[in-house]
Amino acid sequence: MATRQAFRHLARRMLSNVPESTVYGGPRPQEAAGARRVTVTTLRGKHRRGEPITVVTAYDYPSAVHVDSAGIDVCLVGDSAAMVVHGHDTTLPISLDVMLEHCRAVARGASRPLLVGDLPFGCYESSSTQAVDSAVRVLKEGGMDAIKLEGGAPSRISAAKAIVEAGIAVMGHVGLTPQAISVLGGFRPQGKTVDSAIKVVETALALQEAGCFSVVLECVPAPVAAAATSALKIPTIGIGAGPFCSGQVLVYHDLLGMMQHPHHAKVTPKFCKQFGNVGSVINKALSDYKQEVEARSFPGPSHSPYKITATDVDGFANALQKMGLGEAAEAAAAATENSENDGKPSENS
């Protein structure tokens, strides 16, 4: 039964990009509208109707479950995992193999959103063939529905076009492209001069021409993002690009206020709004746990559910005595007596 359910879940993921009206018209299970899979076609419909698109990153099974439960449209497995999960200062160190591990975990946790996996630095720059091979792995091995790649250099536009022609949906990414910090001179906003602003729009148009279904605009002035959104026929997803995009994306850990560590503070962007203060809740819970363990108040009787009868304790103690483990026998007897009283061990336990 469990195997059959796992197979159905896998089949649902593998078919997630099939449009709702397909050539396969057999009976379908009844689903609530809010539970239907989000596809590229879904996003096109929202964009056509002027409905904002929501995107959040996820990097593991628990975060994917949360994103799925919240009804977010797109779950992006970002190479930002290098920074917020693995503690690096940039996105550059993460490999395709590590990204695939994150993708697989997210695919197990999110069945509703469109799943987009980042192509990390070093796995698509050499040639269109390398780019297609990497993108195929993200779908076949990672369980993703689409890929995202950064930048608008001619080689990357060619890579995007080749991946689309291979039958894989591509999300572009312009403006601040973290994989290009070597060229950009660090994490610097783009589009702040006339030439730079025109380049953002031109690059976005080139990615649209290459067949991308959407483009991320990162760290550009709001007027530039508004112009790009107006010029394009595909959705724009803003991150630090103002309110005039077709949708917005934020990093899971950033929007939740999950980390107060100095390193994470260093890589938390200025544009991010914290919609929660989860980090404080986590820190308090861990602190409370530490205190209760040190005070020997946890685990108490309600969290010690597994019982052994008095008769079996006597037999167990006798067996320990025969093994020459007298102190162990006394400890077992004392634990039994203690659990029958207040359940709290003595200080010398």
| Residues designated catalytic | 218
Spatial separation of the C-alpha atoms in residues 130 and 283, rounded to whole Å: 43
Contacts 24+ apart (CB under 8 A), 150-158: 150/177, 150/178, 150/179, 150/180, 151/177, 151/179, 151/180, 151/203, 152/199, 152/202, 152/203, 152/204, 152/206, 152/207, 155/125, 156/124, 156/125, 157/206, 157/207, 157/210, 158/128, 158/210
| Strands 74-77, 114-118: pairing kind | parallel
Hey, is 262 helix, strand or coil?
Answer: helix
Spatial separation of the C-alpha atoms in residues 117 and 115, rounded to whole Å: 7
